[in-house]
Structure 1
Amino acid sequence: MRFRHPDGSLVHLAYCTNVHPAEDLDGVIAQLDGCSALVRKELDVPVLGVGLWLAYRLANQLANSPDALHRLRQALDRNGLEVVTLNGFPYAGFHDEVVGKKVYLPDWTHPERLHYTRDLVDVLAQLLPEDAAYGSISTLPLGWREPWSAEQDTRARAAISRLEMHLARTEETTGRRIRVAFEPEPGCVIEVVPQGAEWLAPYGAAGRIGLCLDTCHLAVQFEEPGTAFGVLERAGVPIVKSQVSAALHVTDPGDVEARRLLDEFAEPKFLHQTRELGGGAIDNLDAVAELSGAAPWRVHFHVPVHAAPRPPLSSTTDVLGDSLTRLVGGEHPRTLHLESETYTWSVLPSSPRDTQELAEGIAGELAWLRDRITALGLEEVK
């Protein structure tokens, strides 16, 4: 979906395909022909943006096989789909029975992470629409926080310097500008926006390396959007991309019904880092007994933005709304790429029964976001 900002900029909204399990070309094409096509039909839009997730083997195949890339492009074209952004966070196995901390491997100290991201750069440079100002790739915030040494930090910076050179060469040879966005996440080396601003500041001037602002993660850490945006501006770190998503909120952890409903979200597949207002922190929902329960909790569980959880649970759509206003509601947009990233549909207490229900849910989120974007003065491009 496309929107024209009052300043003339083209703002893109996509949904992230990491909600789908396919990791090979046939599977990805099938999901585009299936669920993605249904989402576009539900929304009745001429072009639907998809933020592709390509596992590392497929990314390498597409980067090195013109025939494979042509097949993917044909699938996108026949379904009225466009790609301006890729999710380069999960490397593979994102739909394993248990993902947990495996999603943070390989981290930015391993050469495999650099190779994978380079392949994604090469693929996106070929898929990017002609009128897109740039392409974006989100990636993990260096790695999980433990262990992380000064030597590892040095190795990560060396890898990112090589990545920056590859981005510059790509722009020179293809004329397409690709940017990579590091995504702060609870429990990682870059956990909060100020850490991201400090770590990424040396790359800000060139604009090829920046931050992916996930509004679910921002909310989980109880970060105030106004403060976070100010920190980034002062550091000169661009918001390359934003994942506009919502976290689970527990106003009163002592409420018996709230705890009963929260137990329904404690599933084993994904890590659900939980934070307590005032400083309490755990790495997964199964350890909530370690928190005091004396202040509100927020849980890293991406919940559908258009459908509130059952009371007394709620979601952080207020943080999302505030962030969205700051992202695209001003005189000029702070980013041109917005992505809905609710990858948890399959593990929700009431998950979709089939592809049609999933497509309706994804379309519902995008419609909710569309209403809020147009309310900020942007015009949907038909």
Structure 2
Amino acid sequence: MKLQDQPPLHLTYGLSIHPDETWPELWASIQEKALAVRARVAPGKAFGLGLRLRDAVSREMAEGGNLRRFRQFLDENGLYIFTLNGFPYGRFHGGRVKEQVYAPDWRTEARLDYTRRLADLLAVLLPDGVAGSISTVPGSFKPWIHGASDVERITDQLARAVAHLAGLKEKTGREIHLGLEPEPGCLFETPDELIRFMQEWMWPRGRVRVARELGCSLAAAEQKVRLHLGVCLDTCHVAVCFEDPEEALRQYQAAGLRISKIQLSAALEADAVGRAALARFIEPVYLHQVVADLGGGRLRSWLDLPEALAALGSLPEARAVRVHFHIPLHFEGGGGLRSTTFALRPSFFRALQNGATEHLEIETYSFDALPGGASRDVVESVAGEYRWVLQRLVRAN
């Protein structure tokens, strides 16, 4: 939904919260869930959607008249697409995902081809006058990276993606930008890591590949990199790393990165009392990275919740433990558990209203993995998250 005209600001929710592994499932999730959410929060108004298109579904959408029929359906129902989740390439529901969510990574042709296809689809789906965003894997899973040659390969592949987006803009007039989404355990976890990559690799080196692809000057190529490649700031991921979302935003802006999209989400935090309750959140589908604050500026991290809980018993100095588990923004907590939404202060929402980004997305894909999640009403939960965000935007004024 469009929140304001100047500076432009759109809000949606990630449809990855619904089953969307096939083309029919995607259609059903929009018809049965997204329209029901719209009826609760913005009845009768144009309603933006954030799609998650796995590789197989993106191929099917591009076939025959599927894309034309889909665009017609959107127009007839007052819906519009302005952002895509291009992070998970394959299955995201109904089976083990864990670290395979990062595969194929940005070293591969498969990731590049998939992202270019998403951009081509988005160029058709975008309404006039609205830029498009695609969030993506932050390079790779950190344990898979073994040296500078891997980072060089990632730089080259991202530069080729930028060249494709620049070419699309030239041909269609559609401006689409790619947002690397820092996440615990990945090549880029924190603002410092992503900024360093942009400054040391993408801007000075990636522009050379872009210039070669497009036959333009290095200066023009760097402008295209800055326009079409930025950051997708996920407030859950920021919180897990004990980073402040507002400070992370300031860091990216000061370094000159485009804020492609901000995903509004919350991580789970446990104090010493709540630590035992974290065992209820162990589940077999998603990777739940954990970071503990040991005091004195010391942090300890684990790649998944079971190994973290096994180790925390011998770390009595751990003050707070944060888990990469996307919980609803309106989660109230209790028993030593709380949401990290306390870090989303009014000044953060004022920054959103003042043009920090054009795209906001509520991101709570792990709803079904929550203890008792399958028994809850997902439509009402998402509508509650919309109300939570809209109330804070109003209060920020």
Q: Is the 8 A contact 1:135 1:177 kept in 2?
A: yes
The verdict on how the C-alpha distance between 1:154 and 1:323 changes in structure 2, with shifts beyond 3 A counting, is farther
| In structure 2, C-alpha distance between the alignment counterparts of 1:335 and 1:106, rounded to whole Å | 28
Aligned length: 365
Corresponding position: 1:243 with 2:241: no
- Which residue in the other structure is 1:3 paired with? 3
- Which residue in the other structure is 1:274 paired with? 290
Corresponding position: 1:321 with 2:337: no
Could you give the per-residue CA deviations for residues 92-146 of structure 1, whole angstroms, max 9, x where no partner exists?
A: 11113211101010000011000000000001111111131x1000001011001
- Which residue in the other structure is 1:48 paired with? 47
| In structure 2, C-alpha distance between the alignment counterparts of 1:322 and 1:150, rounded to whole Å | 41
| In structure 2, C-alpha distance between the alignment counterparts of 1:130 and 1:279, rounded to whole Å | 46
- Which residue in the other structure is 1:380 paired with? none
Greater displacement, 37-46 / 159-168: 37-46
Query: Larger RCO: Structure 1 or Structure 2 (Cα < 8 Å, ≥ 6 residues apart)?
Result: 1
Structure 1 counterpart of 2:144, from 128, 144, 147: 147
What letter matches 2:173 in structure 1?
G
- Which residue in the other structure is 1:335 paired with? 357
| In structure 1, C-alpha distance between the alignment counterparts of 2:28 and 2:67, rounded to whole Å | 15
What letter matches 2:58 in structure 1?
A
Give 1:326 shift. Answer: 5.7
Structure 1 unaligned blocks of 5 or more:
378-382
| In structure 1, C-alpha distance between the alignment counterparts of 2:59 and 2:16, rounded to whole Å | 17
Could you give the per-residue CA deviations for residues 155-202 of structure 1, whole angstroms, max 9, x where no partner exists?
A: 111111111110010000000000000000000000111111111244
Give 1:243 shift. Answer: 0.4
| In structure 1, C-alpha distance between the alignment counterparts of 2:12 and 2:57, rounded to whole Å | 21
| In structure 1, C-alpha distance between the alignment counterparts of 2:175 and 2:122, rounded to whole Å | 10
| In structure 2, C-alpha distance between the alignment counterparts of 1:110 and 1:299, rounded to whole Å | 29
| In structure 1, C-alpha distance between the alignment counterparts of 2:111 and 2:382, rounded to whole Å | 29
- Which residue in the other structure is 1:69 paired with? 67
Structure 1 counterpart of 2:228, from 180, 192, 208: 208
- Which residue in the other structure is 1:222 paired with? 242
| In structure 1, C-alpha distance between the alignment counterparts of 2:170 and 2:349, rounded to whole Å | 34
Q: Is the 8 A contact 2:236 2:324 kept in 1?
A: yes
| In structure 1, C-alpha distance between the alignment counterparts of 2:182 and 2:121, rounded to whole Å | 24
| In structure 1, C-alpha distance between the alignment counterparts of 2:334 and 2:133, rounded to whole Å | 35
The verdict on how the C-alpha distance between 1:234 and 1:10 changes in structure 2, with shifts beyond 3 A counting, is closer
Q: TM-score, normalised by structure 1?
A: 0.91
Give 1:352 shift. Answer: 4.1
What letter matches 2:277 in structure 1?
L
| In structure 2, C-alpha distance between the alignment counterparts of 1:103 and 1:323, rounded to whole Å | 33
Q: Is the 8 A contact 1:29 1:75 kept in 2?
A: no
Give 1:320 shift. Answer: 2.9
Q: TM-score, normalised by structure 2?
A: 0.88
- Which residue in the other structure is 2:280 paired with? 264
Give 1:214 shift. Answer: 0.2
| In structure 1, C-alpha distance between the alignment counterparts of 2:72 and 2:387, rounded to whole Å | 26
| In structure 2, C-alpha distance between the alignment counterparts of 1:284 and 1:210, rounded to whole Å | 28
Q: How does 1:77-96 map to 2 (within 5 A)?
A: 77-96=75-94
| In structure 2, C-alpha distance between the alignment counterparts of 1:306 and 1:78, rounded to whole Å | 32
What letter matches 1:334 in structure 2?
A
| In structure 2, C-alpha distance between the alignment counterparts of 1:19 and 1:74, rounded to whole Å | 24
Structure 2 unaligned blocks of 5 or more:
204-221
Give 1:53 shift. Answer: 0.3
Q: Is the 8 A contact 1:216 1:320 kept in 2?
A: no
Structure 2 counterpart of 1:29, from 23, 27, 34: 27
| In structure 1, C-alpha distance between the alignment counterparts of 2:125 and 2:351, rounded to whole Å | 25
- Which residue in the other structure is 1:197 paired with? 195
| In structure 1, C-alpha distance between the alignment counterparts of 2:347 and 2:184, rounded to whole Å | 18
Secondary structure of the 1:83 match is strand
Corresponding position: 1:299 with 2:323: yes
Corresponding position: 1:289 with 2:310: yes
